Amino acid sequence: MGMRSALSRPLILLLLGSTAGLLPGAIASQLLAQIVYQATPRDPLVFAGVITTMAVLGFVAIYIPAQRALRIHPAGLLREE
């Protein structure tokens, strides 16, 4: 089991969750534009920044535990039990 197989399913879930969150984000931006003075809804620069930030944070949140889990040898772990 390599890093690729350890990351594939969580990355798919991250992609699906991010895609599902875009619509509520667009609706929330409309609402916030009415509340906050001089806010433009669906500003492409802000959306790109949010998407990039969330993708990087999501990848780091997936990569670090997967890397730690792959360092453990399964036979050694079973012997400890």
**Structure-token pair, residue 29:** 């931006």
Give the structural domain span for 64: 3-80
Q: What is the pLDDT of residues 5-58, one digit of tens each?
A: 778 888 888 889 888 888 887 787 777 777 777 667 667 777 777 788 888 998
**Contact indicator for 3, 67 with CB cutoff of 8 Å:** yes
- How far is 67 from 71, CA to CA, in rounded Å? 6
User: CA 76, CA 65: separation in Å to the nearest integer?
Assistant: 18
End-to-end CA distance of the chain: 21
8 Å CB contact between 62 and 15: no
What is the model's pTM? 0.62
Residue 17 tokens read as: 């969750």
Write out the two tokens for 44. Answer: 């492409």
- The count of structural domains within the chain is 1
Q: What is the pLDDT of residues 53-76, one digit of tens each?
A: 888 998 899 889 888 888 888 787
The position carrying tokens 């895609």 is: 19
